[in-house]
Chains A and B, each alone.
With several copies, the nearest count.
Chain A
């Protein structure tokens, strides 16, 4: 299954100040099967998170990624774990793509000590530094300068690696993006700004928030590429292209045309500002998993039954991960005080009643 394949993207790339990459994407059967498995896993994980939230096992904000899976898997196929990724609060699947485990993800979502942030971060704050994942940020836009800072460090250390800083169409209007992009361009930082345009920032349609919703053209001096973000192969192609470009020249913007099926977060039904038809239309015509399923079947890389089997296996994995996660204990009360500093010098920290509860931070 490692015979090379070449697949044409169904939609051409659009370029701003740059020639677009070829629409013919080299891939292999195994890569395509992996795409299927990884995206189906992500989808299943998010749907399970939805149920866990409704069962009150997950608290607070919870932003799901179903619909956008192709962005993560396509990007990962183009880069290595020495490249960095940073994103916002919609981070479960990015974490998975970076090699995080479902068990640690679910455990974190349930606020248990075995979670990837030991229960202290929750849904919006997943990290995996050893494979270049820097989170998991709750403040809209903040992750973009942070990502440019990662790229700054990569260049400072003379590593041939890049950073992908992901943000939404809503975030795209934040001033700090323009500030960061300007510096990234001045200093030729290997930063790729990935705008995941799912067409809504919460309940606001892109055109109501942006005078120019052509996000790939937003840097008047930096090149950009508009990519079909529902096509994992197109995403892969664009990311390979962008990485190469960024290493040589500095920042580039990738606008991923994608869609979120769920509401913005669990408190948003996601149905007041868009029609049901719009959502089901995307599901039917552009779904990233179904697209790959079709590709697999067309190229006889697996049978319908085999894919069903894969999906069945994934369901089992997800169920097992949840069961394992549920067994993880709540954090010890003393964890309230750990990690305030990485070096606390024995200084005091206080509970709500300082005469009842205090700690010496080491």
Chain B
């Protein structure tokens, strides 16, 4: 059986709203318009305007309102049309939500989910293409999830909504329409994926490729190519950026002795850097080659199609880096002056 990510998210929202009357949706165009990307399709009809709340374009305000409602015990699911706009509300996500349980020593918890598409889409230029995984992932008090498949989308979103802490749920617009096989188990309304556990999407023994979100699919395709060249790559889908499943990563690297990280976000202080540090800290003696980072280019996202392609990781990049990690020869590098 197949399901696309959009339907997976939609069904997860639907089930959690039906199971718990404290759960409500708010955001721009989530109601009458059925969602800018149709993730909330049908929910207004089913649950009415009290529980599917269309907001004005005032992110700071409605994120704050969502957090306040969570203080009181409701379970808001706040949609950002894209996470680029979450910057207008980021003070509430960090200072009002993430830090509250700690600074009140548990008096006030904040069961809220912030969700929406994150990172690069296609042709939307620099202000609409940023990946926030590393930023949010650095904040104690937040949980940060990055679904890849439809199973991830369902299981992680349902867990996020049931979780008593603030969760940042980073979707990917380019995955919404992608179909994935889905099990009966994953379709059950009780299906939840535990937070903070990575998933091994493909087992291998020569090199570990760690990725999240759309880059998992690129990594799997790279692994396929590598297998034809006799390299057996293990592909880890992080699922969760925070908590980061350091154990799963280190166990894999201790087996393969080689590590490639893949992410679409900016490189400096990125998820790849953290994974590298974690492996150096915990498994230094197992590493047979330098860790390879594949990241978004260190530039704002350009509009032109050819430049945009250069600005995000391609399958070739992952293949090349994996080969380097395995000390297979690759073509020479290129340095330009900008």
Contacts and interface: CB of A to CB of B under 8 A. Distances in A.
Tell me if chains A and B make direct contact, with any CB pair below 8 A: yes
Interface of A: 59-61, 84, 86, 108, 111-113, 116-125, 127-129, 134-142, 144-154, 156-157, 170-171, 173-176, 178-180, 182-183, 186-187, 201-204, 208-210, 272-273, 330-331, 333-345, 347-362
A163 B74 CA distance: 15
Contacts of A179: 56, 58, 60-62
Interface stretch (B1-9, B28-36, B145-153, B182-190): B28-36
B283 interface: no
A175 B311 contact: no
Contacts of A135: 104, 108
A139 B299 contact: no
B337 interface: yes
B63 A145 contact: yes
B215 to A, nearest CB: 10
A61 to B, nearest CB: 5
Interface residues of B, number: 96
B207 interface: no
Contacts of B140: 340, 349
A335 B307 CA distance: 8
A84 B298 CA distance: 32
B109 A342 contact: yes
Contact of B324 (A86, A183, A208, A355): A355
A137 B127 contact: yes
A335 B91 CA distance: 25
Nearest to B143: A341
Given A121-B125, A121-B303, A173-B56, A156 B296 contact: no
A117 B303 CA distance: 10
B68 A86 contact: yes
Lowest 8 A-B CB distances belong to which pairs? A149-B68, A145-B64, A179-B61, A60-B123, A59-B123, A337-B338, A122-B303, A153-B72
Contact of A183 (B56, B123, B313, B320): B56
A9 to B, nearest CB: 31
A182 to B, nearest CB: 6
A360 B338 contact: yes
Interface string B203-236: 0000000000000000000000000000000000
Given A61-B124, A153-B68, A120 B307 contact: yes
B13 interface: no
B57 A355 contact: no
Most buried by A among B36, B109, B293, B306: B306
B65 interface: yes
Contact of A180 (B33, B65, B85, B123): B65
Given A152-B65, A359-B337, A204 B28 contact: yes
B165 A343 contact: yes
B178 interface: no
Nearest to B314: A352
Interface string B24-43: 10001100110010000000
Contacts of B320: 353, 356
A57 B39 CA distance: 27
B294 interface: yes
Given A61-B128, A203-B29, A349-B140, A331 B307 contact: yes
A330 B57 contact: no
Interface of B: 24, 28-29, 32-33, 36, 50, 53-58, 60-74, 84-85, 88, 91-92, 95-96, 101-109, 121-128, 140-141, 143, 163-165, 194-196, 243, 246, 267, 281, 292-300, 302-307, 310-314, 317, 320-321, 324, 330, 333-338
A89 B71 CA distance: 17
Given A127-B107, A342-B106, A145 B60 contact: yes
A49 to B, nearest CB: 14
13 contacts: A111-B307, A125-B127, A125-B303, A134-B72, A146-B71, A146-B92, A149-B66, A150-B72, A179-B62, A203-B32, A209-B56, A334-B337, A341-B165
B302 A336 contact: yes
Given A60-B122, A331-B304, 13 more contacts: A86-B68, A121-B105, A139-B91, A144-B64, A145-B61, A146-B71, A149-B70, A153-B71, A179-B60, A338-B105, A353-B320, A358-B336, A362-B337
B57 A345 contact: no
B45 to A, nearest CB: 14
A332 B104 CA distance: 16
B101 A149 contact: no
B147 to A, nearest CB: 18
Contact of A170 (B56, B88, B143, B312): B56
A355 B71 CA distance: 35
Contacts of A347: 196, 243
A60 B129 CA distance: 11
A157 B24 CA distance: 12
Contacts of A137: 95-96, 127
Contact of A156 (B24, B103, B337): B24
Nearest to B107: A127
B164 A342 contact: yes
Nearest to A356: B333
A273 B32 contact: yes
B58 to A, nearest CB: 4
A175 B307 contact: no
A182 B29 contact: no
B289 to A, nearest CB: 12
A340 B101 contact: yes
A338 B338 contact: yes
B333 to A, nearest CB: 5
